[in-house]
């Protein structure tokens, strides 16, 4: 079994790369003297805005704002752009439904340089009483339609080991609810419930697109009821030293509404990690109490599944009342040790004809965000 990592390794990892860039004035003068771009790279500056509606965020004070939420609050109306300089932004952020067609750009081009992180969990006490709950734990919540993020890290660094008294261990890095929401070359870091691909309400369609992204976690770390396409994405399962036996967790937990013909679609991805062989399930269905008629849907195709995935029984139930066999789980042309079919009844496969309709185009309709990659 792999050796245990230090308990606060994620926090150190997040701060090590970006903290230097966040420090006010650190190496700023030599960088300019060498002819290198400022904190916003090729994306302009407050003195040379790329568009009149562009705002600049820099923790060192060289932009319009030092926090992302302050910039979002100021960016009223539709079609605004935020260029975010390298740094660690320890805050929670809400993009409400009125801020449509907003774009966030990580200025350096490296998603590891721009980190938005906080450490609330579902069981974290609220200042005014009660707890945050799963949705309230999110570091970033996006309710607006037409949101796009480029090369940014969304993280929740709450750790079970640091809070043994808390039972609500869900800790969301990103909750996306809007339609036409895209994340390109982004990272999502957490443990339980890392990436919440959801909608604003039952019966509301929310199409989401994740391309060349990276997500890691342990329990249900990609979940929700959105119609979501994950193309060329990597999913990393984390080791767990607090558990002695399998399963350590579940990669996907869709909660697709029964009336929705399109749930989660994973294309040309990779599922790997550091857990022992066979210690993770690929998915389990989530039928929430708020929608007992949900019929979760997940299709994983043309994807490499590493040895950490239980090839014999990759799916399991979240509730005995809603067995995974009654849901819409399917695979097609997957490879890797976790994709080996040993018990055919446990690995539902699409036919070639069915696979022809399991595409990004059928899932996303008249919206083609891959053209922006």
Confidence of residue 373 (pLDDT cuts 50, 70, 90): confident
Residue 36 pLDDT: 55
Exposed/middle/buried for 249, CB within 10 Å: 0-12, 13-18, 19+? buried
Mean pLDDT of 155-174: 96
Mean pLDDT of 191-199: 98
Exposed/middle/buried for 141, CB within 10 Å: 0-12, 13-18, 19+? buried
Q: Are β-strands 44-45 and 48-49 bridged in parallel, bridged antiparallel, or unpaired?
A: antiparallel
Structure tokens belonging to residue 35: 């002819």
% of the chain with per-residue pLDDT over 90: 89
Confidence of residue 37 (pLDDT cuts 50, 70, 90): low
Main-chain phi, psi angles of 330, to 5 degrees: -155, 160
Mean pLDDT of the chain: 91
pTM assigned to the model: 0.92
% of the chain with per-residue pLDDT over 70: 90
The pLDDT tens digits for 81-125 are 999 999 999 999 999 999 999 999 999 999 999 999 999 999 999
């Amino acid at each position: 079994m792999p050796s245990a990592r230090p308990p606060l390794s994620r926090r150190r990892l997040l701060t090590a790369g970006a903290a230097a860039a966040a420090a006010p004035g650190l190496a700023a003068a030599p960088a300019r003297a060498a002819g290198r771009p400022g904190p916003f790279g090729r994306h302009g500056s407050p003195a040379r805005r790329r568009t009149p509606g562009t705002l600049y965020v820099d923790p060192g004070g060289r932009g319009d704002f030092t926090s992302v939420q302050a910039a979002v609050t100021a960016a009223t109306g539709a079609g605004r752009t935020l260029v975010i300089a390298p740094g660690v932004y320890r805050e929670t952020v809400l993009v409400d439904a009125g801020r449509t067609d907003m774009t966030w750009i990580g200025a350096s081009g490296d998603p590891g340089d721009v980190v938005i992180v906080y450490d609330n969990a579902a069981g974290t006490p609220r200042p005014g009483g009660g707890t945050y709950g799963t949705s309230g734990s999110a570091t970033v919540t996006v309710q607006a339609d037409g949101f796009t993020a480029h090369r940014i890290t969304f993280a929740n660094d709450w750790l079970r080991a640091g809070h043994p008294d808390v039972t609500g261990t869900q800790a969301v890095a990103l909750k996306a609810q809007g339609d036409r929401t895209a994340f390109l070359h982004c990272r999502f870091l957490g443990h339980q419930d890392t990436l919440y691909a959801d909608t604003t309400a039952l019966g509301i369609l929310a199409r989401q697109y994740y391309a060349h992204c990276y997500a890691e976690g342990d329990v249900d770390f990609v979940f929700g009821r959105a119609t979501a396409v994950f193309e060329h994405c990597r999913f990393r399962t984390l080791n767990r030293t607090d558990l002695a036996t399998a399963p350590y967790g579940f990669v996907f937990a869709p909660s697709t509404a029964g009336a929705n013909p399109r749930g989660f679609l994973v294309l040309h991805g990779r599922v790997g990690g550091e857990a022992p062989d066979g210690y993770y399930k690929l998915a389990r269905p989530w039928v929430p109490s708020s929608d007992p008629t949900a019929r979760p849907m997940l299709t994983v195709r043309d994807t490499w599944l590493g040895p950490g995935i239980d090839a014999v029984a990759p799916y399991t139930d979240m509730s005995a009342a809603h067995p995974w066999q009654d849901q819409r789980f399917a695979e097609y042309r997957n490879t890797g040790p976790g994709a080996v079919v040993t018990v055919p009844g446990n690995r539902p496969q699409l036919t070639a004809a069915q696979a022809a309709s399991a595409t990004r185009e059928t899932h996303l309709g008249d919206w083609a965000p891959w053209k922006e990659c």
